[in-house]
Amino acid sequence: MDQGLSTLEPAASALAAAVQRAQRRAQWLKAILPLHWISSALTLAGLLLFALTGITLNHAGSIEARPVLRSGSFELSPAERGAFARGAPPAGGSGRAPLPLSLHQPLQERLGLQWAADTEAEWSADEVYLSLPRPGGDAWLRVDRARGSLEWEDSDRGGVAWLNDLHKARHTGLVWRAFIDIFAIACAFAAVTGLLLLALHARRRPSTWPLVAAGLLLPLLLAVYAAH
C-alpha cells in the first residue's frame, strides 16, 4: 500500500502543477483578451486608412490626379484699402501679422475659402501674401498694396491626395498630429497584447513562432536588399 501511494504522489504533483499552469494561463487570457480586442477595435478603421493610403502613396506616380483650380482677382474698395493700411505690422509695415479682422469674414465669403482669424500673412511695403495650404489642396491670396488689388488661387487635388496628406499629417494641424501619436500608441498596445496571446497559444499551435519570425525577418531582409 505504501509503495502504491509513493508511486501516485509524483503523478498527483505533476497533475496539480499542470492544473496550476492551466489556471494561470486562463487568468492571463482573461486579462489580456479584453485589452486586445478593445485596442484592436479602436484602431481598426485607422489601420485600414493607413494601409490603403500606404498603397496609394507607394503608387503615387501611377495615380492620375486632376486638380480643380479656381482663381480670380478684383480691386479693393477704399474701405478695404484703409483696413489693410491700418492692419499693417507696426515695424515699418513689414513682418508677419493676421489679415485685418474686419475683412476676415467678408474675404472668406467672397473667395470661398476658410482660414483661422489668427492665421499670419507675410506683410511687406509692396504686398500682403497669405498662404493657405491644407490636406489635399492649396490656396493663397496676394494683396498689391500700391495698386489696391487682390488676386487669389485655390487648387483641390482630390480625395486620394487628401487621404495621402492625412497619412503624412501634412498641413493637418495639432489635433490630427496628436491623434496620430495616440493612434500609434494604441496600435503598439494591440500588437503587444496580440503577441502575448500568441505566446499563450503557441504550445498548441506549433507554427506560431516560425510565422512570427518570418514576419520579422522578411521586412528586414527586404530592407537590407533595397538598401544595397
The x, y and z cell numbers of residue 100, run together, are: 485685418
The x, y and z cell numbers of residue 123, run together, are: 506683410
Please give the pLDDT value at position 149. 96
Q: Provide CB contacts within 8 A for 100, sequence distance 6+.
A: 83, 84, 86, 87
Per the CB < 8 A criterion, the answer to whether 25 and 202 are in contact is no
User: Can you tell me the distance from the alpha carbon of 37 to that of 43, in angstroms, rounded to the nearest whole number?
Assistant: 10
Per the CB < 8 A criterion, the answer to whether 156 and 137 are in contact is yes
Q: Provide CB contacts within 8 A for 168, sequence distance 6+.
A: 57
pLDDT in tens, the chain (228 residues): 455 545 556 666 666 666 677 677 778 778 888 888 899 999 999 999 999 999 999 998 888 778 899 999 999 999 999 999 888 888 667 899 999 999 999 999 999 999 999 999 999 989 999 999 999 999 999 999 989 999 999 999 999 999 999 999 999 989 999 999 999 999 999 999 999 888 888 888 888 889 989 988 998 999 898 887
Please give the pLDDT value at position 24. 76
- Helix (H) or strand (E) holding 81, with range, is helix 78-86
User: Can you tell me the distance from the alpha carbon of 145 to that of 198, in angstroms, rounded to the nearest whole number?
Assistant: 67
Please give the pLDDT value at position 25. 73
Q: Where are the beta strands (DSSP E) in 135-221?
A: 137-144, 149-156
Residues facing 152 on adjacent strands:
72, 141
Please give the pLDDT value at position 16. 65
Per the CB < 8 A criterion, the answer to whether 212 and 198 are in contact is yes
H helices present in the chain, as ranges = 2-58, 78-86, 101-111, 159-168, 174-201, 208-227
**What are residue 96's phi and psi, to 5 degrees?**
-115, 130
Please give the pLDDT value at position 3. 52
